[in-house]
Amino acid sequence: MKEIILKVEGMSCGGCENRIKNAVGMIEGVEKVEANHTTGIVTITAKENVSESIIKEKIDDIGFSVVD
């Protein structure tokens, strides 16, 4: 397992957190997603073969921005 920590812009409430948790959680190999709109941090626990770029793309697709 690996942990991926991303800074995400655009989260303003618990609903935003849930949108990210649900979308990223649907990616095969993702075990756990935690999102905090106050800090803008999304923490993902996933299998080693899960690509960080796929996760970033999914977050972008639902209207948020991953900050590098």
> What are the residue boundaries of the structural domains of the chain, listed by start?
13-67
Angle between helices 52-61 and 14-25 (to 10 degrees): 130
CATH of 13-67, one of 3.10.310.10, 3.30.70.100, 3.30.70.1290, 3.10.129.10: 3.30.70.100
Mean local confidence (pLDDT), 50-62:
97
Question: From edge to edge, which strands make up the β-sheet containing 30-36?
Answer: 30-36, 41-46, 2-9, 65-67
Report pLDDT for 34.
98
Residues 8, 60, 1, CA angle at the centre, nearest 5°?
70
pTM for this model (two decimals): 0.94
CA atoms of 30 and 50, how far apart (whole Å): 7
Tens of pLDDT, residue by residue over 17-47, are: 999 999 999 999 999 999 999 999 999 999 9
Mean local confidence (pLDDT), 46-56:
97
User: Percent of the chain, pLDDT > 90?
Assistant: 99
Report pLDDT for 12.
97
